[in-house]
Copies of this chain bind each other. A is one copy, B any other.
Amino acid sequence: MPLGLSFSGGKDSALAALLADSFFDVTLVTATFGVTDAAENAREAADALGFAHETIELDRAVAEGAIERMVDDGYPRNGIQQVHEATLEAVAEAGFDVVGDGTRRDDRAPAVSRSVAQSLEDRHGVQYVAPLAGYGRETIDDLAGELLRIETGPSERLAKGDYEHELRAVLADVYGESAIDDIFPEHVQSVVRGRRE
């Protein structure tokens, strides 16, 4: 079955792709607002993993709605959730019969509840899959350490392929550079460089 898996170039979506690889015909799909080179970074990570890759354009209004929500909230969670759901919708509309992502059991945002999954499936006539949904953080760290070559570092320094990277750029564009530190907590992120042999 052809699976369009939302892909950021990070550890979770890369591991989800490896778990799904034996059972689906996986294409990694990166959603982009076209404001940074995030999609190009994701494509490099997909190439290094040996997966097909597609880029999907999201409307800049989705980014602007999300950062407005983040600024109102003072934290990024709900805005990121909005962009993630818009991404899954876009992958479904791009014609994949099965739509997936790298959300984990313990994720707070983005998180795809059973009702969000069912709604996506019913409205688009697709199947939604989350290969990592049955795994906790420790198991995922163990599997990723075994299977992936990963580079970690602070969010703002890694050449990431995810929409958070672009949301930061749009946020800085609209609200100024200082808004990034107000909204996004400093944390270490990961970029995938390939598989371990």
Contacts and interface: CB of A to CB of B under 8 A. Distances in A.
Interface of A: 1, 19, 22-23, 98, 100, 103, 105-106, 114, 117-118, 121, 127-136, 138-139, 142-143, 147
Contacts of A19: 19, 23
Q: Which of A103, A132, A134 has the most CB of B within 10 A?
A: A134
Contact of A136 (B121, B131, B143): B121
Per DSSP, chain A at the interface is mixed
Oligomer copy total = 2
4 tightest CB-CB pairs across the interface, nearest first? A133-B134, A130-B134, A127-B139, A133-B133
A128 B127 CA distance: 25
A171 B94 CA distance: 52
Contacts of A22: 22
B138 A127 contact: yes
A22 B195 CA distance: 15
Nearest to A101: B134
Contacts of A127: 136, 138-139, 142
Nearest to A3: B139
A197 to B, nearest CB: 15
Contacts of A130: 133-135
Contact of A1 (B129, B136, B142): B142
